[in-house]
């Protein structure tokens, strides 16, 4: 029997905007964003990175627009891009207008850097006429000095007020095609700011921990902030801001959404036990070998590598496919059912071959093709290992009797 999936908190209701053909908010799937690190004037180099980001799971890509050459580059990039392009503008409103002329699908404006109300409203009016959304990108590190002084620092209240001030300028231009971010490099500040913003507006929210740093620390910080809010139902599009190849950002964002059940699995999900004294193999080595052999095959399945046959198949019974080691043999299982027993040195090869067959034939067909006697052979291995290493398990009934004696049962 298939069990219903465990649900996170209900998604926060929000209005929906369209970034090119990608819906954001309003119940649409949470989208993944990243940003190119190339010079936007380098059209071919930037397009190469955009294609790599799209292949890694990015739904939307942002490019800087900081000079005339960048705007001209955008005009050549936009029609050739596989995903919608957002222009990142900080100081010069003329660059925002030029990016709109280049045909970008969205603008990102930083209220702390582009401060003149007349310029902000001019950009909003042009975006309104073209039907292009704008992200209000508030950043704790570049907060307007007046807000910083009034609030005594970069507080959640200051970040949210910055976003609301920008919304006020947009309203004067009759523009509300907006998504908002209130990013900070401090994770608790980021979380608190988004929680306040989620209560104050119904616009879609773009989540991120800005300047999170290089992996692994940057991955941990970004995940702590983004995942916390997504689990609460807050957030409509996300970006990992890592000091690394931006492809890592896109891949991490996609993997996070899949792990939370917010996007369907599009690639390999390899799970493995942390190993223990019962392990019959080097779990870390085998898991790495399996990952390397499977990750480039683009199979949307969950695969488990378990260190022992005593608990492995049961603990990983939800996996589409797995293998556990015992007595110099590997127990290959599908959805917890043993389908084959193979020599230890053929474990990874057998795992990859079965994964390909599942992709071609489906789980039910592969279960039906299980080797005769596989479950019996696996049961014999488990029994032998319990006798050899399972003293605690074997003494459980003795302990039960002692407890009953002590309690008078």
Q: Is the peptide bond preceding residue 216 cis, with omega within 30 degrees of 0?
A: yes
Task: State residue 280's pLDDT score.
Answer: 63
For residue 370, count other CB atoms closer than 10 A to its CB. 16
Q: Flag whether pLDDT at 115 surpasses 80.
A: yes
Q: Nearest Cα to 132, choosing from 98, 91, 168, 163?
A: 98
Find the helix or strand (DSSP H, E) in which 219 lies.
Answer: helix 217-231
Task: State residue 1's pLDDT score.
Answer: 37
Kindly state the average pLDDT of the residues 374-397: 67
What CA–CA distance (Å, rounded) separates 17 from 21?
Answer: 10
**Secondary structure (DSSP) of 79-118:** GG-SS-EEEEESS-HHHHHHHHHHT-SEEEE-TTT---HH
φ and ψ at 185, to 5 degrees? Answer: -85, -15
pLDDT confidence band for 320 (50 / 70 / 90)? confident
| Domain range 269-393, its CATH number among 3.30.1300.10, 3.90.320.10, 3.30.413.10, 3.40.50.10860 | 3.30.413.10
What CA–CA distance (Å, rounded) separates 403 from 381?
Answer: 31
Percent of the chain with pLDDT over 70: 91
What CA–CA distance (Å, rounded) separates 60 from 82?
Answer: 9
Task: State residue 311's pLDDT score.
Answer: 64
Q: Flag whether pLDDT at 397 surpasses 70.
A: no
Kindly state the average pLDDT of the residues 35-39: 95
β 134-139/178-183 pair status? parallel
Q: How many CA atoms lie within 13 A of 371 on its CB side?
A: 15
Q: Flag whether pLDDT at 276 surpasses 90.
A: no
Task: State residue 379's pLDDT score.
Answer: 81
Q: Are 206 and 238 in contact (CB under 8 A)?
A: yes
Between residues 61 and 306, which one has the greater pLDDT?
61
**Could you tell me where in the chain the CATH 3.20.20.20 domains are found?**
16-259
pLDDT confidence band for 398 (50 / 70 / 90)? low
Q: How many CA atoms lie within 13 A of 70 on its CB side?
A: 24
For residue 188, count other CB atoms closer than 10 A to its CB. 12
Percent of the chain with pLDDT over 90: 59
pLDDT confidence band for 402 (50 / 70 / 90)? confident
N-to-C CA span, the chain: 37
Q: What are the pLDDT digits (tens) for 326-381?
A: 777 888 888 888 888 888 888 889 888 988 998 888 889 988 988 888 888 878 87
Q: Flag whether pLDDT at 93 surpasses 50.
A: yes
State CA 135 to chain mean position distance. 20
What residues have CB less than 8 Å from 22, skipping those under 6 apart? 28, 31, 59, 60, 83, 84
Q: Flag whether pLDDT at 9 surpasses 70.
A: yes
Q: Are 334 and 321 in contact (CB under 8 A)?
A: yes
Task: Give me 79's structure tokens.
Answer: 């029609």
φ and ψ at 342, to 5 degrees? Answer: -130, 160
Task: State residue 309's pLDDT score.
Answer: 64
Task: State residue 112's pLDDT score.
Answer: 84
State CA 4 to chain mean position distance. 22
**Could you tell me where in the chain the CATH 3.30.413.10 domains are found?**
269-393
Mean per-residue pLDDT over the chain, rounded: 88
Q: What are the pLDDT digits (tens) for 133-179?
A: 999 999 998 888 999 999 999 999 999 999 999 999 999 999 999 99
Task: State residue 16's pLDDT score.
Answer: 98
What residues have CB less than 8 Å from 166, skipping those under 6 apart? 109, 111, 120, 136, 138
128, exposed or middle or buried, with CB in 10 Å at 0-12, 13-18, 19+?
middle
pLDDT confidence band for 90 (50 / 70 / 90)? confident
For residue 174, count other CB atoms closer than 10 A to its CB. 10
Q: Are 239 and 230 in contact (CB under 8 A)?
A: no
Task: State residue 396's pLDDT score.
Answer: 57
Q: Are 359 and 367 in contact (CB under 8 A)?
A: no
What residues have CB less than 8 Å from 187, skipping those under 6 apart? 209, 221, 224, 225
Tokens 């954001």 — which residue?
Answer: 24
| Domain range 16-259, its CATH number among 3.90.1300.10, 3.20.20.20, 2.60.40.720, 3.40.1350.10 | 3.20.20.20
């Amino acid at each position: 029997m298939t069990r219903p999936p465990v649900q996170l908190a209900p998604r926060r209701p929000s209005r929906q905007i369209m970034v090119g053909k990608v819906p954001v908010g309003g119940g649409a799937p949470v989208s993944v964003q990243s940003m190119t690190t190339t010079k936007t004037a380098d059209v071919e180099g930037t397009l190469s990175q955009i294609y790599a980001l799209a292949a890694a799971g990015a739904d939307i890509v942002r490019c800087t627009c900081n000079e005339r050459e960048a705007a001209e580059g955008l005009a050549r990039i936009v029609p050739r891009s596989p995903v919608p392009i957002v222009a990142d503008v900080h100081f010069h409103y003329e660059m925002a207008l030029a990016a709109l002329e280049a045909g970008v699908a969205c603008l990102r404006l930083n209220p702390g850097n582009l401060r003149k109300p007349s310029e902000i409203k001019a950009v909003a009016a042009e975006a309104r006429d073209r039907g292009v959304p704008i992200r209000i990108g508030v950043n704790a590190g570049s907060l307007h000095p007046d807000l910083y002084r009034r609030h005594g620092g970069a507080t959640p209240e200051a970040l949210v007020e910055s976003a609301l001030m920008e919304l006020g300028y947009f309203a004067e231009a009759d523009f509300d095609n907006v998504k908002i971010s209130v990013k900070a490099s401090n994770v608790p500040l980021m979380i608190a700011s988004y929680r306040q913003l989620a209560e104050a507006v119904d616009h879609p929210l773009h989540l991120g921990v800005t300047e999170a740093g290089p992996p692994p620390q940057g991955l941990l910080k970004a995940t702590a902030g983004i995942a916390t809010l997504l689990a609460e139902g807050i957030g409509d599009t996300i970006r990992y801001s890592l000091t690394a190849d931006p492809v890592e950002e896109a891949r991490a964002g996609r993997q996070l959404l899949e792990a939370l059940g917010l996007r369907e699995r599009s690639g390999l999900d390899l799970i493995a036990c942390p190993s223990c004294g019962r392990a019959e193999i080097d779990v870390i080595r085998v898991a790495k070998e399996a990952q390397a052999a499977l990750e480039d095959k683009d199979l949307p399945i969950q695969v488990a590598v378990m260190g022992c046959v005593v608990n492995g198949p049961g603990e990983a019974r939800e996996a589409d496919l797995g293998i556990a080691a015992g007595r110099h043999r590997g127990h290959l299982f599908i959805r917890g059912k043993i389908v084959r027993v193979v020599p230890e040195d053929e474990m990874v090869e057998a795992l990859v071959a079965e994964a390909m067959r599942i992709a071609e034939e489906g789980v039910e067909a592969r279960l039906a093709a299980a080797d005769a006697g596989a479950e019996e052979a696996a049961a014999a291995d488990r029994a032998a290992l319990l006798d050899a290493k399972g003293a605690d398990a074997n003494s459980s009934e003795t302990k039960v009797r002692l407890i009953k004696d002590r309690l008078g049962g």
